[in-house]
Amino acid sequence: MELLIIYAGHQLDYLYGIISGIKDKEYNYTIIDSSKNKKLFDSIKSTNLHFTYFLDNIVKNKMLSQFLYYLQLIPYLIFKNKACIIHIEWLNTWFPFLDEIIFSLLKKFTKIKIVYKVHDISRLHLSEENISEKDVKLSRTKRMFFNSVDCFITHNQFVKNLLITNGISEKKVEVVPHGINNYAPINPEISIEYSKTKFRINSGDRVILFFGRISPNKNIESLIDAVDNLNNKGKYKYKLLIAGKFSKLNKTYQNKIEQLVKKDFITTEFGFISNEDIQHYFQAADIISLPYNFIYQSGLPFLAYRYGLPVIAKNTGGIPEDVDKHTGIIYNSDDELENTIEMFFNKKHSIYTKPEIQKHANEKYSWNAIGKKYEYIYSKI
């Protein structure tokens, strides 16, 4: 059976996981992606994987790149595609409504089956200040597209329930786990001590990591306040390690960060973090914090588990489904964060050790098992 996967230039680490799950299995896959990943894909030796690059990384003008993408994608879908199933992992970030229209029309005039992985029901929704699952609404083109989908894949029951609330039949939705991050490198020659030294962390410091894009829904403010309050108690030194791109942050908290940096309570690295540097952040920290006000799901727990790092996360979206008592702590409100951090460091919990977290996550979120689930879904439709 021929399968077409639309990936459209999204996160390489997640695509690498998918590839490791479907490689050398029963079906033949053509993956449409960006040429920026060509070097990696050329190194993958597998008879059932084929890569097509419609997003050209060489073209610097983004609008021109998008125009060329559709100029190649549309004729390919109409004249060259041999797949009986199209698995859409991601819609195009720039013009998702165009993808929604294109695949809706393709479904209307052909016998092709469509599988759609629902990462975020609405990415625009996530950029808003005060949001909740009650605010999730489908645009007209998205609703038209959803009516064309034969099977939805979600990472958790939370997103599945949102789809059902928005009129999608429960029979059309399959829950498949996110999958462990198996792309981030682990270099055994890099010691924990070296990583801590890199960020001026002393052996007695209690280190909390905030990693990834800093946007309004991520609620980093609550974490800054908690670390500040804990340090004011004076019993232990708590250090917040912030690594990621700024999307938007309140000016008050920008000033507060600067003050805490001067006190050596916060270390910041604002900008893109290379794949080679990720290990240092996760080795230097004792725990990673996800204080989000709202999110559908996050890939960060699966990156943390790669390095055996436990998670403190606010009870929102599908995150509680991926953080259990062995891998982290879930809290319910910002008021609880400070005490939750103290509880972790005072070891009033049953969290696994680093090797146990890695073993547990590799078994529970195996890409091989996910690849088998994908092929079960394909055969089902």
Strand blocks (E) in 145-237: 151-154, 173-175, 206-211
Given a cut of 50, the residues of the chain with pLDDT beneath it are none
Query: Are the CB atoms for 338 and 229 separated by under 8 Å?
Result: yes
DSSP secondary-structure letter at 317?
T
pLDDT tens readout for residues 59-104: 678 888 889 899 999 999 999 999 999 999 999 888 889 999 999 9
Query: Are the CB atoms for 149 and 115 separated by under 8 Å?
Result: yes
Closest CA to 265 of 292, 242, 247, 289: 242
Query: Are the CB atoms for 36 and 56 separated by under 8 Å?
Result: no
pLDDT tens readout for residues 228-270: 999 999 999 999 999 988 776 777 888 888 999 999 999 999 8
Query: Are the CB atoms for 4 and 85 separated by under 8 Å?
Result: yes
Query: The whole model's pTM is what?
Result: 0.93
Cα–Cα distance between 38 and 113 in angstroms, integer?
27
- Which two tokens mark 365? 């979120």
144: how many CB neighbours lie within 10 A of its CB? 18
230: how many CB neighbours lie within 10 A of its CB? 23
Distances in Å between the Cα of 321 and the Cα atoms of 87, 155, 158, 176, 193 are 24, 9, 9, 12, 32
**β-pair partners for 275:** none
**pLDDT recorded at residue 130:** 61
Cα–Cα distance between 353 and 373 in angstroms, integer?
29
Per the listing, tokens 């991926």 go with 322
Closest CA to 90 of 197, 12, 168: 12
**pLDDT recorded at residue 94:** 86
Query: What is the distance, to the nearest Å, from the Cα of residue 188 to the centroid of all Cα atoms in its chain?
Result: 25
| CA angle in degrees (0–180, nearest 5) for 344-348-352 | 70
Contacts (Cβ under 8 Å, ≥6 apart) of 303: 13, 181, 184, 211, 278, 282
**pLDDT recorded at residue 192:** 95
51: how many CB neighbours lie within 10 A of its CB? 19
Query: Are the CB atoms for 230 and 255 separated by under 8 Å?
Result: no
